[in-house]
Amino acid sequence: GAVVSQHPSWVICKSGTSVKIECRSLDFQATTMFWYRQFPKQSLMLMATSNEGSKATYEQGVEKDKFLINHASLTLSTLTVTSAHPEDSSFYICSARDAVEVYEQYFGPGTRLTVT
């Protein structure tokens, strides 16, 4: 089956620094990837849609200058949390859309970000 990886699986950073999270589709090409954020005991909230070779589309209320998304290849999307603050501490999950079974998204294992 399709596999999506994320790196790192967890990260601790100091307030004011930036953190980059990678999302890779390992055995398929993903023209579209999605980034979600999940706070404890809450559901997944879509942050942005990332299309290869073009600018990401952000959901309402998500600051595009704070959450920088780059989708430079068909297998890699990155999310950079800039000037991180403790309230950015969350579980960040990416997913990749299968080009064949277009309705299905494959989720990465998630990245736990803690900002101190």
Partner 1 sequence: GQNIDQPTEMTATEGAIVQINCTYQTSGFNGLFWYQQHAGEAPTFLSYNVLDGLEEKGRFSSFLSRSKGYSYLLLKELQMKDSASYLCAFYFYTDKLIFGTGTRLQVFP
* Residues at the site binding partner 1, with contacts judged by CB under 8 A: 32, 34, 36, 41-46, 49, 91, 93, 95, 97, 102-105, 107-110, 112
Q: What beta strand segments (E) does the chain contain?
A: 4-7, 10-13, 19-25, 32-38, 45-51, 57-58, 67-73, 76-81, 90-97, 105-107, 111-115
Nearest-5° Cα angle at 19, 18 to 21: 150
Least distance from partner 1 to the Cβ atom of residue 103, Å:
6
CA distance 18 to 15: 9
Closest distance of CB 17 from partner 1, Å: 23
Closer CB to partner 1, 6 or 75, in the complex: 6
Supply 102's token pair.
């277009």
Residue nearer to partner 1 on the CB measure, 3 or 16: 3
Q: How far is the CB of 83 from partner 1 (least distance, A)?
A: 26
Nearer to partner 1, 15 or 64 (CB): 64
Q: Which is nearer to partner 1, 26 or 46 (CB)?
A: 46
